[in-house]
């Protein structure tokens, strides 16, 4: 084996080291984060919880304070997650980080998974009826075929 082969990154060779969980505040996304936390704990992996702040070009044109609203949502989610992690402190030890990205949910999660060198992605099932016909973020992530994707109902 050459030295270059010895240092080459390979996803999932010894179990996941980074698990990305996408959250948006919905019940299914919070269940996905809890499920991902269990995976991270059992695997000794880093749990990277990701909220993608939507960029709404139309909202800016109408004068809506979109950036302030999405930042507030991100702060609320981070506070909820910190509280949850504090409750299990001493019972379960989980290494975790909270990240925010801007963009549409699919592109934001792809960027997060790439930037964080994710071994797996966990998301909640879409709760919007239209996604049954158009396709949800989860379906698009699975079709991308770049990481194992777990969809939590």
DSSP codes, 80-147: HHHHHHHHHTTT---EEEEEEEES-HHHHHHHHHHHTT-SEEEEEPP--TTHHHH--HHHHHHHHTSS
pLDDT of residue 103: 84
Write the CB contacts of 48 (distance below 8 Å, at least 6 apart in sequence).
18, 19, 20, 21, 96, 97, 99, 112, 116, 118
**What are the counts of helices (DSSP H) followed by strands (DSSP E) for the chain?**
7, 5
pLDDT of residue 119: 94
Please give the chain's pLDDT, 153 residues, in tens. 555 555 555 655 566 799 999 988 888 888 999 999 999 999 999 999 998 887 765 545 455 555 566 677 767 777 777 776 676 666 667 888 888 888 888 999 999 999 999 999 999 987 765 444 445 888 899 998 899 999 998
pLDDT of residue 19: 96
Threshold 0.85, pTM exceeds: no
């Amino acid at each position: 084996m050459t030295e270059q082969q010895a240092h080459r990154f390979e996803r999932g060779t010894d179990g996941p080291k980074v698990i990305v969980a996408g959250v948006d505040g919905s019940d299914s996304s919070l269940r996905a984060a809890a499920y991902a936390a269990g995976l991270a704990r059992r695997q000794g992996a880093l749990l990277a919880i990701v909220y993608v702040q939507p960029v709404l070009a139309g909202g800016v044109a109408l004068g809506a304070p979109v950036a302030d609203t999405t930042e507030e949502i991100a702060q609320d989610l981070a506070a909820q997650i910190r509280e949850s992690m504090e409750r299990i402190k001493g019972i379960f030890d989980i290494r975790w980080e909270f990240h925010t990205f801007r963009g549409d949910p699919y592109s934001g999660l792809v960027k997060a998974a790439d930037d964080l060198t994710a071994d797996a992605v966990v998301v909640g099932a879409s709760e919007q009826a239209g996604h049954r016909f158009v396709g949800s973020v989860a379906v698009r992530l699975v079709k991308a075929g770049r990481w194992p994707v777990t969809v939590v109902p």
